Structure 1
């Protein structure tokens, strides 16, 4: 029997393979294929990370298995400017707290904020809901408390994955308002999560954020949840390069392949 575990290091993700001493004479073809896919994805992931870092930028990623809490991660606690990644969790926390009232009173603003990343719609929501605690409660539940005094915040890919973990618990319910949001979250502006992971019977809920122009705020950030027949995981990838979706995609593509291989092995 072969098992594996991935954990983060200062350089790249690491993988440990543990094999029983009493192995069968003939290897199982399916297991061999999964191991090959796992190894190839890990090599591609490490190469993508190295390319970004050798160019002088930071890159962080995490996959959080929502079934068992295991992670695949690199530089996962480095904080980045949230940019528009905050908009979907904010809207989810609003609808989770207020239900049909939120949909009735703010439905158009919520849709524009999530689907189109509309800054004006988000600003209007924040002004109308000033002082409300629903997002603070959700982020605290995730173990990633965020100060949204200025509408945006700094957090890590680990924080964002845990925020999406809490969002996913509610989004997966039969609540009609959750279904309404799920339909929006499957195709949001510039998110690569759906483009890369939303295939082969998988569904996704995600939101990207990006900003360029000031070193303090330069970021490209993407995250959400991937639901597959084998299980679900939260995913987040960030770099301090402004509006650099090419780097995000170069890391996310092998990261999704590795995450899916690990789910298939379970």
Structure 2
């Protein structure tokens, strides 16, 4: 039982009012005060008369005084006289008749003093009668008079405090847990009534914030389980929220509970940690449960905000949020960086918090190393960038151009460089054509097995030309259409194609090899090519499925290789395209650097 409180007539203090809608709803059904009662007698309102003076435990000498009606007259009576009933606790042992008189019936009445000529925005009281059947409280019969009086008085106070008016109520045995409890999540306040509900009970929760009074008051109907969700979008700001619980029966509203819930204002913590030479992670912690999304803008002081980047932070299992920034997105600038945090508030609006400024330094990154693009969040380290740049330089120093694309077959994370420049495809197209043909016409594999084997093992031009003449370009055109590659590239036997386009087509090959039984059978013919830089460099460590192409003659210049590499950390798609005149060995260092980048991306 909570500490009892002394009730003193005509003493005024600040209390939380019941929602105005309840008071208005009951106004017509409750007995109105007579004109005699309306005379200026300075009678206290319900809120003024029933207030909590202190929240300290009551001693045996405390006095409980309530304003009550002296008689229960016929409703047609036009006048009523008021008396004061005083229950005084003493240390003496009560007589049984005194205990019965105290416990059986304590009634209170409150007079509605609302005056329309005054600019009053809330009805402070209504006329009603409150009866508390103390005999239903377990243990009263055997308790001392002091204990019984304390129990009854505190229940009167709790009921008045809950309803804001003195509605009919019956005291019950205190529950082992709170009558009404709440829980906060990302979008709403979950309210649960823990008492017993009957089929005839109609339960409602009134919810509003302390900010600006009751201007965001909302009513929520409880479910049959006694629960409701109060969406934060219906309310304002942070701080204290009032949750009042009412039952409705026969047009009457009965206050059951009044609690206050605190929705704390966010005050997140942010930490910046170095992952590698060019990558930093931002961890946002101390995030309240009601925040469901966080974005992190970051920029350097160099050239103001020209390099600002926004990243969506991902929620971690411990409730924190993680964002990763790649300094390549900020032109590899060293120095001071500004990190801010923006989060979606409970009302759907975004709010920002300037968290910190931090210094990020890295070795100088220029040229090709700075031009390597990351795909879907992987940011290669400076050392990997420099290795890729060195491999590219080996090709460009001989007067050739090169492009490449690599990404994880499942996540899409990877890297790219000059990946949109088209080169002559040479025999690399054969690996795409065969897969598209067999996927859409499985009998072609059985009918042309030796031809297909020669095309994939030995890059047979005769076999490829035969398949093209027998089956046409429709199958490969469909293949291209499915992955967003220009279908006009299907008609030439050997089109010009970019590393990005070739990688997309190999991703389609991968899906077919992984999900179709005939596709799995066909994929084995890609594992033992006669010539392939990817297979030569990585085939002893991993399973590779590739098809290279090369040529060096007037008007035709190419050294390409593309396919799938399966490692213990995952599978990735890779495509390299150059105009290097059939010099397959120039790709070896590039294949090794690309593989190193993939392994780093999986750490």
1:196 matched to 2:552: no
1:163 matched to 2:505: yes
Query: Is the 8 Å Cα contact of residues 13 and 72 (structure 1) preserved in structure 2?
Result: no
1:75 matched to 2:418: yes
Structure possessing the higher relative contact order (Cα contacts under 8 Å, 6 or more residues apart): 1
Distance 1:241 1:208, change over 3 A: same
Cα deviation for residue 174 of structure 1 reads 4.6
Distance 1:6 1:178, change over 3 A: farther
Provide the C-alpha distance between the structure 2 equivalents of 1:178 and 1:125, rounded to a whole number of angstroms: 18
1:154 is aligned, of 496, 511, 514, to 496
Task: Show the counterpart of 1:173.
Answer: 515
Task: Map 1:36-47 onto structure 2 (within 5 A).
Answer: 39-47=382-390
Structure whose residues are more often helix by fraction: 1
Cα deviation for residue 134 of structure 1 reads 1.1
Highest CA radius of gyration, 1 or 2?
Answer: 2
Task: Show the counterpart of 2:527.
Answer: 186
Cα deviation for residue 151 of structure 1 reads 1.1
Secondary structure in structure 1 of the residue aligned to 2:449: helix
Task: Show the counterpart of 1:86.
Answer: 429
Secondary structure in structure 1 of the residue aligned to 2:444: helix
Query: Is the 8 Å Cα contact of residues 220 and 243 (structure 1) preserved in structure 2?
Result: yes
After superposition, the CA RMSD in angstroms is 2.7
Provide the C-alpha distance between the structure 2 equivalents of 1:213 and 1:226, rounded to a whole number of angstroms: 30
1:205 matched to 2:538: no
Cα deviation for residue 7 of structure 1 reads 7.6
1:219 is aligned, of 551, 558, 576, to 558
Query: Is the 8 Å Cα contact of residues 6 and 72 (structure 1) preserved in structure 2?
Result: no
TM-score normalised by structure 1 residue count: 0.82
Task: Show the counterpart of 2:466.
Answer: 124
For residues 112-133 of structure 1, the C-alpha deviation after alignment (integer angstroms, 9 at most, x for no partner) is 1111100000011111113x51
Structure whose residues are more often strand by fraction: 2
1:255 matched to 2:594: yes
2:368 is aligned, of 12, 22, 25, to 12
1:49 matched to 2:389: no
Provide the C-alpha distance between the structure 2 equivalents of 1:65 and 1:115, rounded to a whole number of angstroms: 25
Provide the C-alpha distance between the structure 2 equivalents of 1:116 and 1:55, rounded to a whole number of angstroms: 28
1:110 matched to 2:452: yes
Secondary structure in structure 2 of the residue aligned to 1:218: strand
Point out where structure 2 has 5 or more consecutive residues left out of the alignment.
1-272, 280-325, 332-365, 374-378
Task: Show the counterpart of 1:145.
Answer: 486
Point out where structure 1 has 5 or more consecutive residues left out of the alignment.
17-34
Query: Is the 8 Å Cα contact of residues 414 and 601 (structure 2) preserved in structure 1?
Result: no
For residues 75-115 of structure 1, the C-alpha deviation after alignment (integer angstroms, 9 at most, x for no partner) is 1111011100000110001110011x112211111111111
Task: Tell me the matched-pair count.
Answer: 241
Secondary structure in structure 2 of the residue aligned to 1:172: helix
Further displaced range: 61-70 or 118-127 = 61-70
Task: Show the counterpart of 2:178.
Answer: none
Task: Show the counterpart of 2:195.
Answer: none
Distance 1:89 1:7, change over 3 A: farther
Distance 1:141 1:13, change over 3 A: farther
